[in-house]
């Protein structure tokens, strides 16, 4: 898949809405891509989408036992309705690790039962006085979810008829989802985790062409609910064969982590949930070097992934995280256009080099 084809797939995935627990639009695109290269594709009871690439020339029981689970998550940070005011304004809270500043005042899509309803995320006026606490929070740059509402121009009764209620997902509108090119970079909301998903799909195609080099099967696991509970990854790690999970993620750029915006993949050594499996992390670092990159090992106490979740809970005995260097994580994110390919190349090299 060429760089332009990867960018086209990325744009398609970015336009697809995928709040935690409601990732169907993303899943169908991924299913189409996996079915072109995997030996089996299925959806498990947790709504994870899984594609198996079978190792050839290896006894089937051994190939399954030595399976590697490669995880990238389908969901995105979003909002969820907490209650509806009498005038039809929605009061929302975060779905995943988000604050109002991550979205700003912006157009939103309300994923009602019967249709998608347009709305505007509002912080209210900036021209109030101390009589309006919300205005003071805006002026101080301290906007919290209690200061936020969604304008719908429907009544509470009309919204009820449309199927908008507590628990309804609210996402950034497709109107603002199209990626933006900045010289050698691409910028967009939700590169977390759409860019790593592209890397996983590109790697799947390349691994399918190199089945005879695999020591064990490769399971591409596109997980659900990573931004909330890691429930999809937890279920997959407990129910799928294999003993290693590798999460593909975005990697924050920060001086404290000594990470930089580059093609060079980030290999996490640990995060807020603990330390990753050294043998697997070291193998990814060596794979990146063989591919001609200068990998960025990083310890990130302010980060977490599907891999650290399954490792910390004991759902998987070994796990690691390979990440695409990303500016503005959980905001308007920026990556190098070719960094998805760099991630895919590193992953493939690692998997075909396993002994």
| Residues counted in the chain | 355
Q: List the structure tokens of 260.
A: 């930089």
At residue 297, does pLDDT exceed 80?
yes
**124 closest CA partner among 99, 147, 101, 96:** 147
**57 vs 266, residue with greater confidence:** 266
CATH node for 3-76+190-352: 3.40.630.10
Q: What is the 3-state secondary structure (H, E, C) of 266-307?
A: EEEEEECCEECCHHHHHHHHHHHHHCCCCCEEEEECCCCCHH
* Mean pLDDT, rounded, of the chain: 95
Q: How many CB atoms lie within 10 A of CB 124?
A: 16
pLDDT range class, residue 123, cuts 50, 70, 90: confident
At residue 130, does pLDDT exceed 70?
no
Q: What does the pLDDT read at residue 126? A: 66
The CATH number, out of the four listed (1.10.10.60, 3.40.50.720, 2.40.30.40, 2.40.50.140), of the domain defined by the range 78-175:
2.40.30.40
Q: What does the pLDDT read at residue 1? A: 85
Q: What does the pLDDT read at residue 307? A: 96
Contacts of 77 (CB under 8 A, 6+ apart): 94, 95, 96, 97, 98, 102, 190, 192, 227, 330
At residue 132, does pLDDT exceed 60?
no
Q: What does the pLDDT read at residue 135? A: 64
Q: Which of 20-29, 100-109, 317-326, 344-353 has the lowest mean pLDDT?
A: 100-109
Alpha-carbon distances of 199 from 11, 60, 100, 164, 343, rounded to whole Å: 13, 27, 29, 35, 6
Residues of the chain with CATH 2.40.30.40: 78-175
Q: What does the pLDDT read at residue 308? A: 96
What's the half-sphere exposure (Cβ side, CA atoms, 13 Å) at 16? Answer: 24
Average pLDDT in the 109-115 region? 95
pLDDT range class, residue 120, cuts 50, 70, 90: very high
At residue 121, does pLDDT exceed 90?
yes
Say whether 192 sits in a helix, a strand or coil: helix
* Spatial distance between the Cα atoms of 170 and 109, rounded to a whole number of angstroms: 6
Q: Is residue 281 a contact partner of residue 271, using CB atoms and an 8 Å limit?
A: no
At residue 209, does pLDDT exceed 70?
yes
Q: What does the pLDDT read at residue 90? A: 98
Q: What does the pLDDT read at residue 143? A: 82
This model's pTM is above 0.85: yes
Going by DSSP bridges, is the β-strand pair 68-73/218-223 parallel, antiparallel, or unpaired?
A: parallel
Q: Is residue 31 a contact partner of residue 196, using CB atoms and an 8 Å limit?
A: no
Q: List the structure tokens of 20.
A: 């935690």
Q: Is residue 166 a contact partner of residue 115, using CB atoms and an 8 Å limit?
A: no
pLDDT range class, residue 124, cuts 50, 70, 90: confident
Residues of the chain with CATH 3.40.630.10: 3-76+190-352
285: left (phi over 0), alpha (psi -120 to 50) or beta: alpha
* Spatial distance between the Cα atoms of 28 and 306, rounded to a whole number of angstroms: 21
pLDDT range class, residue 125, cuts 50, 70, 90: low
Contacts of 269 (CB under 8 A, 6+ apart): 275, 276, 278, 281, 297, 298, 299
pLDDT range class, residue 140, cuts 50, 70, 90: low
| 223-271 pLDDT per residue, tens | 999 999 999 999 999 999 999 999 999 999 999 999 999 999 999 999 9
pLDDT range class, residue 142, cuts 50, 70, 90: confident
232: left (phi over 0), alpha (psi -120 to 50) or beta: alpha
At residue 167, does pLDDT exceed 80?
yes
Q: List the structure tokens of 331.
A: 């905001």
Helix (H) or strand (E) holding 12: helix 3-15
Helix (H) or strand (E) holding 149: strand 149-151
Number of helices (H) and strands (E), helices first, in the chain? 11, 18
Average pLDDT in the 283-305 region? 97
At residue 147, does pLDDT exceed 60?
yes
């Amino acid at each position: 898949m060429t760089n332009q084809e990867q960018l086209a797939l990325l744009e398609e995935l970015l336009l697809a809405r995928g709040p935690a627990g409601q990732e169907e639009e993303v899943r169908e695109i991924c299913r189409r891509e996996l079915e072109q290269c995997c030996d089996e594709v299925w959806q498990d009871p947790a709504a994870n989408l899984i594609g198996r690439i079978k190792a050839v020339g290896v006894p089937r029981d051994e190939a399954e036992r030595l399976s590697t689970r490669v995880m990238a998550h389908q969901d995105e940070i979003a909002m969820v309705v907490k209650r509806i005011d009498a005038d039809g304004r929605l009061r929302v809270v975060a779905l995943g690790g988000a604050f109002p500043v991550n979205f700003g005042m912006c157009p939103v899509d309300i994923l009602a039962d019967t249709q998608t309803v347009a709305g505007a995320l509002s912080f209210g006026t900036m021209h109030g006085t101390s009589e309006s606490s919300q205005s003071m929070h805006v002026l101080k740059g301290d906007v919290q979810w209690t200061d936020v509402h969604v304008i719908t121009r429907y009544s509470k009764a009309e919204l009820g008829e449309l199927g908008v209620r507590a628990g309804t997902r609210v996402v950034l509108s497709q109107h603002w989802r199209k990626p933006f090119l900045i010289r050698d970079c691409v910028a967009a909301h939700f590169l977390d985790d759409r860019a790593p998903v592209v890397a996983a799909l590109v790697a799947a195609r390349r691994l399918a062409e190199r089945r005879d080099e695999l020591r064990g099967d490769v399971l591409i696991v596109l997980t659900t609910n990573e931004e909330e509970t890691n429930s999809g990854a937890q279920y997959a790690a407990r129910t799928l064969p294999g003993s290693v999970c590798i999460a593909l993620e975005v990697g924050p750029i920060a001086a404290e982590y000594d990470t930089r915006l580059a093609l060079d993949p980030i290999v996490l050594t640990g995060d807020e949930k603990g330390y990753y499996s050294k043998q697997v992390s070291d193998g990814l670092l060596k794979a990146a070097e063989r591919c001609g990159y200068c990998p960025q090992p990083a310890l990130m106490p302010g980060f977490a992934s599907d891999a650290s979740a399954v490792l910390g809970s004991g759902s998987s005995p070994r796990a690691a995280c390979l990440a695409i260097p990303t500016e503005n994580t959980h905001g308007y994110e920026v990556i190098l256009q070719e960094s998805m390919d760099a991630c895919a190349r590193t992953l493939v090299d690692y998997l075909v080099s396993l002994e």
